[in-house]
Each structure stands twice: as C-alpha cells, then as structure tokens.
Amino acid sequence: QALLVNWLYFTTISSAGVMFVAVQRITTARWSRSIIRFLEGYVAFLPVAFILIVLIFLGKNNIFPWTHEELHVPEKALYLNPWFLIPRSLIAYGIIMTLSVWYVYTTVRLDVGHSPEAGASWARGLRERMRRGFRDERREIHSTHSLQGYLAVVLGFAFAFGWIVLSWDLSMSLDLHFQSTMYGWWVFMGGWVTALASFTLLVMAWRKHLDRYDLITEKHFHDLGKLCFAFTAFWGYLTFGQYLIIWYANLAEETHWMRLRLISPWLPLTLFTVGVMFGPFFGLMSRAAKVYLPTMAFFAMFTIVGLWLHRYLEVYSSLYYKSSEIPHGLWDLGVTLGFLGIWSFCYISFMDAFPRMRVTLMTSPFRDEVQVPVNPETMEPLPAHE
C-alpha cells in the first residue's frame, strides 16, 4: 500500500514534468531555454516506475479490493476484471513512458551533437551512439523541431487520457462504489503543480551549483512563481468543483467518499492537506513573494508535502474506512525515503550524463529560425497551412 502511495506521487510528478517540457515546444517557448533541462531529468525515473508498477500488480491482493471483494455494482465487473485492468494500465503507462523518453531523447541529442564531451565519462559511449547520423547543426535544429512538433502533441493526448485511465485503475478503484469524472484531472493536475514546485527548487539549486546567475535570472523565478500560483488555483478549482457537484447531487455512491474523509479520524488530515496544497495561492499573490527566493521555496515546499498527503488520503482512507485511527508506521516512512532515493539517483545520473543546459538553442545562430517552420530537407520555409 505504501508502494502504491509513493508510485502515484513520484510518477505523476515525473510524467507531468516531461509533459511541461513538451508544452514548451507546443508553444515554441524561448523563456525557459536556460532552465528546462533541469526538468527534462524527470524522465529518468519513468522506466524505473514501469518496473515498480509491475511489482504493485504482483502484490495486488494486498492492495486492491477488486481482487478479493464482491462487486456490488455489476456494471463495473468487466472494467475491474484483473485480466482487463492490468494490461490496460500497463499499456497506458507504457505509451506515456515511451513517448516521454523519446521526446526528451530528441532534445538531449541536439545538445550532445553540439557538445559531445559535456557529461560524465561513464556516459561517453551513450553520447557517441546518440551522435550517430548527426548532420549539420542548422538541419538538425529544424528536423528535431519538426519531429518534436508531432511528438509533443501526441504526448499531450497520451498524458491526459493515459493518466485518467491510470487514476481510475490505481486510485479510484480502491473504493468499489465511488466514481467521479473529474477524478483523473484531479490526480494528474496535482502531479503537474507539484512538478512545477519541485522544478522551482531545483532551478534554485542548479543556479547556485553551476554559478550561472547570468543565465538564470530573477525573471525566471517570477515566471515559475506565476505558474505555481496559476496551477495551484486550477487544482483548487478542480478540488472544490468535484466536492460541490458531489455535495449538491447528494448521491450515496458519491457522497460516502467525501464524507469518509470529513469525519474522524481523517478530518484533521484532510483539512490540513487542503490548506497546505492551496496555501501557495495566497502566499504567491505578490510579485515580491515570487522573486524573493526564501518565500518562493517555502511555498513550493507546501505543494510538495501537500501532494504526498493528498496521495496518502487517496489510498489509505479508501482501504481503512473502518479504522478508528490513521494508520502509519515505519513502512510508510521507509518506502517514501526509498522512492526519494531512487528518484534522486535517476535524476542525478541523467544530469551527470548529458549537457546541463540546452546549449544549442542558447548559442546557435540558427536557434530562432524554428519560430518559422521549414522543410528540414530543403530548408525552405513551409507555407502557413503546412
């Protein structure tokens, strides 16, 4: 059960981080070129998470009620059949993971081709394989940009649809009676806002570590603060919107899920979690709070801690609905620290192996030509309709 809590926590954050990178391509953003590599490193955890989700399904009898409890809703029998649910979840996550790795590979390859020696010696062979077939810089910039245009959009659809399916299968299905059409958005947007919050902390750390105060400026933190503020508001909108609809519809198969978390012993933790998750909305209203790094870091930590408590409430409340006290123990702490160690190892290994900034799109004289798409073979501008 602790494995599931932390898988949902770390994997939604990592996947959302890569999706945000893809959004930079969809919007042809230039503001983030000096910092976005720090977020691309989140992709390194996703293949490990695939192994961990297999472990979760191997231990499914200890977690999911649909493996051993009678289904009182006949319409859910097929959907929650393990022979349908498990392959569906693995395929959905596999597609998200594959597209995410492919997308980040294209961005890293462009910089490896430009600076093949930038990175640790243990990854030299990997960088050499990535450089195979590398053409002149201008052509590579345009062909990469063109490919990313397709990958980013496809990843966007896969991310939204895939995480809705995964949230239903791995989280909502812990309560056999409950259903909510907003639940999937609620789950993956929690990961999204926490990815931005953790990204902000990493940008602070990397700026100090690399001593690049010239490339990572106050404006970047202002922009990151605005993103954290905006998506905290959006998470709050989804939370209250889901609660309000369930409240006024007053259907027993929906209200019991909310009521359980608003009675003893879960009520204090529920209110604390909502307060911590939504706190940055009030704390980051001003520009000064966004650009003053201690304040920004303080409220970013609110989101990071709040989402873990959110995932804990998602899982444990549904499984321990008869408990008179909140279950906690060394397993929860140990598994969480283990996940943090695995995630950190994957991230640091990625950042150690490749250039730590998008050097090509920061230094190439052709870097802004991508604002006007061209045919990567002929290098001629494409007509607007293409």
pLDDT digits (tens, 9 = 90+) for 193-231: 999 999 999 999 999 999 999 999 999 999 999 999 999
Do residues 196 and 227 lie in contact, with contact meaning Cβ atoms separated by under 8 Å? yes
Do residues 15 and 163 lie in contact, with contact meaning Cβ atoms separated by under 8 Å? yes
Q: Is the pLDDT of residue 385 over 60?
A: no
Give the CA angle between residues 159, 161, 165 to the nearest 5°.
110
> For the chain, what percent of residues have pLDDT higher than 90?
81
Amino acid at residue number 33 = R
CA atoms within 13 Å, Cβ hemisphere of 28: 12
pLDDT digits (tens, 9 = 90+) for 266-296: 999 999 999 999 999 999 999 999 999 999 9
- Euclidean distance between CA atoms 248 and 225, whole angstroms: 34
The confidence score (pLDDT) of residue 70 equals 85
- Euclidean distance between CA atoms 113 and 119, whole angstroms: 12
Q: Is the pLDDT of residue 14 over 90?
A: yes
Q: In whole angstroms, how far apart are CA 272 and each of 229, 262, 266, 302, 322?
A: 19, 11, 10, 11, 21
Q: Is the pLDDT of residue 348 over 90?
A: yes
Give the sign of the dihedral formed by CA 44, CA 21, CA 104, CA 121: negative
Which uninterrupted H or E stretch holds 245?
Answer: helix 218-249
pTM (2 decimals)?
A: 0.94
pLDDT digits (tens, 9 = 90+) for 96-141: 999 999 999 999 999 998 888 888 999 999 999 998 888 888 888 8
Helix axes 82-114, 2-26, angle to 10 degrees: 50
The confidence score (pLDDT) of residue 371 equals 75
Lowest mean pLDDT among 11-15, 165-169, 253-257: 253-257
pLDDT digits (tens, 9 = 90+) for 99-111: 999 999 999 999 9
Mean pLDDT, all residues of the chain: 93
Q: Is 286 helix (H, G, I), strand (E, B) or coil?
A: coil
The confidence score (pLDDT) of residue 367 equals 83
CA atoms within 13 Å, Cβ hemisphere of 257: 23
> For the chain, what percent of residues have pLDDT higher than 70?
99
The confidence score (pLDDT) of residue 287 equals 95
The confidence score (pLDDT) of residue 82 equals 93
**Residue 74 pLDDT class (50, 70, 90 cuts):** confident
Q: Is the pLDDT of residue 311 over 70?
A: yes
**Residue 12 pLDDT class (50, 70, 90 cuts):** very high
Q: Is the pLDDT of residue 386 over 60?
A: no
- The DSSP code sequence of 204-243 is HHHHHHHT-TTTS-HHHHHHHHHHHHHHHHHHHHHHHHHH
Do residues 162 and 11 lie in contact, with contact meaning Cβ atoms separated by under 8 Å? no
pLDDT digits (tens, 9 = 90+) for 128-178: 999 888 888 888 888 899 899 999 999 999 999 999 999 999 999 999 999
- Euclidean distance between CA atoms 359 and 110, whole angstroms: 9
The confidence score (pLDDT) of residue 282 equals 95
Residues contacting residue 65 through CB under 8 Å, at least 6 positions apart: 173, 174, 175, 176, 319
**Residue 1 pLDDT class (50, 70, 90 cuts):** very high
pLDDT digits (tens, 9 = 90+) for 18-27: 999 999 999 9
Which tokens belong to 252? 């027993």
Strands in 198-295 per DSSP E: none
The confidence score (pLDDT) of residue 323 equals 84
The confidence score (pLDDT) of residue 381 equals 75
Q: Is the pLDDT of residue 55 over 80?
A: yes
What's the chain's Rg over C-alpha atoms?
22
The confidence score (pLDDT) of residue 366 equals 84
